[in-house]
Structure 1
Amino acid sequence: MRALARKGKSAMVRLYRGYNRRKKRGAPPPSIDRIRILLLHANGMGGTIRTVFNVAGYLAREHDVEIVSVLREAEEPFFPVDPRVKFRYLDDRVNPGLDPMRAMLSKLPSKLIPPGESAYHRFTLWTDLKLARYIRSLDTGVLMATRPGLNLVMAQLALPGVITIGQEHVALRTQPDSMQALIKWRYRRLDALVTLTKADQRDYRATLTKKPRKLARIPNAVPPLSGDVAKLDAKVVIAVGRLTRLKGFHRLITAWEEVARAHPDWKLRIFGAGPQEDNLRAQITEAGLDGVVELPGATSDVGAELEKASIFVLSSRHEGFPMTILEAMAKGLAIVSFNSPHGPKEMITHESDGLLVKPRTNANLAAAILRVIEDEPLRRRLAAGGVETARLYDADVIGAQWEALLGELLARRDGTWVKPPARSASQVRP
């Protein structure tokens, strides 16, 4: 029976590949005029959503851009987006309608998304059907996915005429072994894989035996922020992010006990929403920090809140490329961050535009915050350095890198790409 099943499976694979070859022969020429970006839930809150909106807005200047959200769980997007960007929702959970097939398939777990995907529980057999139908409906243009599960499905189902770009917002090393095995096998089918950090790019280069046509690193851009730079006279420390264990806010609150003893007039504000909110509120009360540590909830105007603070703290266990650091730099705040290798370590130059602290050390985090509070010249020097660093991530600078990548991928497809000459040792920047 197993041998028969294997023969049946290989026959299906041959039929599938033959179908793709036939579709390729009749497909329109490759194009970058239309760009479609797959997101899990475009109307939610999170760094990935904000960065995708930034990229989409820039590309919409020259391209037809549509964000394709697998889920719709809120009426409107939480973050502002360029009006030229279109939206499409595959599974509308706000207004689901009375489709009996949807009702049935939504109760069954996904078969397309691997269980190792961190958002696996959000997908169902109904989202599988909608996602597969959508991807297979495209015969040209660019399709970009923004998380491992969607990258894997895109690599598996996209027709040969579509230029596929996988975008990674989390580090490869944080993925479970089952996901890494699939990534090694399927990512080779992508036209490009884009990482946010050089460290992650190196990991993929070392891990993937057969690589996509292009392995690129394009960091996030600083989004437009309201207001002016911070004056650095407010006795406020700010942190921003989803209220999850991964963000380490419980460690920050523990560290703040020491800060509060030395400087009871300073406040800590943690903006965000998430499953750890009740636990964090209980921790604040138990530590006697009510009125000193605040949880104001999520905000759609991060710039306005950053402007009211003097110091930004990132306490995450690990990060891909935290947008909040860039935003805080652009607003002229002094940065204190745990030294995560796949993000903060590349973004922050210790003692120049921020302070890096050994990860998961509450006492060291408290000491770094106290140092910036008590040394005003240091605070202003770090803030000024951050403003200069943020200029390297201007939207036009990062957007030009995306345009260059799209142009190269198109040239690779239509046969006009010429490999640039290798640089000599004297031309390589140290």
Structure 2
Amino acid sequence: MAVRRMAFGVLRALNARRARRAPVPDTRTVRILLQHAYGMGGTIRTVLNLAGHLARERDVEIVSVVRTAREPFFPIPPGVRVSFLDDRTRRRGPVGWLLSRLPSMLIPRQENVYRAVSLLTDLRMVRCLRSMRTGVLISTRPGFNLITALFAPPGVITIGQEHVALDVHSPEVVRLIKRRYGRLDAFVTLTQVDLEHYRRVLRTPPGRLLRIPNAVTALSGDIAKLDEKVVVAIGRMVHAKGFDLLVKAWQPVAAAHPDWVLRLYGRGRPEAERKLRARIEEAGLSDTMLLMGSSSEIGMELAKSSIYAVSSRHEGFSMTILEAMSKGVPVVSFDCPHGPGEVIVHEHNGLLVPPRRPAALAEALCRLIEDRELRGRLGDNAVLTAADYSLDAVGARWDALLAELGDGHPGDRKRRGPV
């Protein structure tokens, strides 16, 4: 503890010295701290969308904490640079190898990213942050938000993002969130419900606390005709996505409509894929519930479907719901915390059913399968809903936030809250 207090004392002294010399905030330079820019997932896709919008008028760099693939899964938008703190596609020197084998000291053990980082990434993140003099830094998950709040120097505008929800974090992570998020210049949630949760919990709020949803970009493929006997589900094979519940829901649907198929796009750890495949086989669904792997042309796949199914136990803000809606595909979803209920209006652009109730999900799927007119009406309204989340509409809200944060001098923005 004595060493910790001494280290924080030194950090405060360095920040005080920097604050006296800090330049006027520069919102023309934006860096985004992301776990894995070349990976596959909703957060990565939405961050790339945001980076592409900001790069229209700004210098934008994505700082990827790790790199485990040689090529990006999603295309990098024009004008966006990507740098890597820990490039695991290359051989490390002996010191780097040793540091990479030691656990992180800055990311809480209870944070999901903990297993993907190390002492090496700690040191390189801190070095990266301390090297900044001005500009905007957007961090994209709790562990990175906590590091940004602690180590970003005066003169750098700091914005934290929440891509899941406050109530899915462990008590240990929430304790640190309460302690440090007040040091951020702004914090952005994806849903209104989560925004209210943060307002109640944060002892010292950031300079700006607001909701900005993710944007949906134009996908390849036409608007779905809704005549194909295909239901689609998309997501990583993790517990939160509830694909085990989807297997249970699909059993009665397949029995009632054996000519329909459910195509599941996404991947997971090999063990997770094996378990899901075994569940499907045990349920006798191997011919109608198909694991399709990942696809970089998900718009084309949605265009060939008639229903989109969401079986998640919880969602931050499901981009795939909006992507399905943009193709005119009606969505059937558990009304789980918190995202689906903020996008889906029951009986208007989709159907919401009680969370974790496979029987209710099955009933709603059968209803849409059996009612072509209802599918069409919900699909038409879904297209209109998706238009409200266009990149131009959402990007304008980010532009307004950056303009507001850039109006003040760094000396006017005090780092609040204890370390």
- TM bracket, shorter-chain basis: over 0.9
Equivalent residue number for residue 425 of structure 1: none
Contact 1:54-1:81 at 8 Å conserved across structures: no
Computed over aligned residues only, the root mean square deviation of the Cα atoms, in angstroms, reads 1.4
Q: Does 1:39 align with 2:61?
A: no
Q: In structure 1, give the amino acid aligned to 2:334.
A: F
The offset of 1:376, in angstroms, is 1.1
Q: How does 1:148-167 map to 2 (within 5 A)?
A: 148-167=142-161
> Is the contact between residue 313 and residue 337 of structure 2 (CA under 8 Å) also seen in structure 1?
no
1:362 matched to 2:330: no
1:91 equivalent in alignment to 2:82: no
Higher RCO structure, 1 or 2 (CA under 8 Å, sep 6+): 2
Shift in Å at residue 27 of structure 1? 2.4
**Deviation for aligned residue 1:37:** 0.2
Residue 119 of structure 1 aligns to a residue whose secondary structure is helix
Residue aligning to 1:270:
264
- 1:15-414 → structure 2 map (5 Å cutoff): 15-97=10-92, 99-275=93-269, 276-413=272-409
TM-fit CA distance, 1:341: 3.1
The change in CA–CA distance for 1:352 and 1:13 in structure 2 (over 3 A counts) is same
Letter in 1 for 2:258: P
Paired amino acid for 2:78: P
Alpha-carbon distance between aligned partners in 2 of 1:360 and 1:139, rounded to the nearest angstrom:
48
* SS across alignment from 1:41: coil
Query: Quick one: structure 1 residues 18 and 117, their matched pair in 2 at CA, closer, same or farther if it must change by over 3 Å?
Result: same
- Match of 1:238, SS? strand
Offset, 1:412: 3.5
User: Is the contact between residue 335 and residue 353 of structure 1 (CA under 8 Å) also seen in structure 2?
Assistant: yes
Amino acid at match of 2:106: L
Match for residue 424 of structure 1? none
Determine if contact 2:19/2:411 at 8 Å carries over to the other structure: no
Q: For residue 45 of structure 1, what is the amino acid of its counterpart?
A: M
| Aligned twin of 2:416 | none
Mapped to 2, the partners of 1:68 and 1:374 lie a distance apart of 48
Aligned length: 411
Q: Measure the CA separation in 2 of the matches of 1:330 and 1:313.
A: 15
Q: TM-score, normalised by structure 2?
A: 0.96
| Aligned residues with identical type, % of pairs | 55
- AA matched with 2:67: R
Cα deviation code 1:83-105 (max 9, x no counterpart) = 210000000001133x1110111
The CA deviation at 1:292 is 1.0
Q: Deviations over 1:295-338 (max 9, x none)?
A: 01001111010001000001000000000000000000011000
Residues 416 and 127 (structure 1 numbering): CA distance in 2 closer, same or farther, change over 3 Å? closer
CA–CA distance in structure 2, aligned partners of residues 166 and 340 of structure 1: 24
Structure 2: gaps spanning 5 or more residues: 414-419
The CA deviation at 1:415 is 8.9
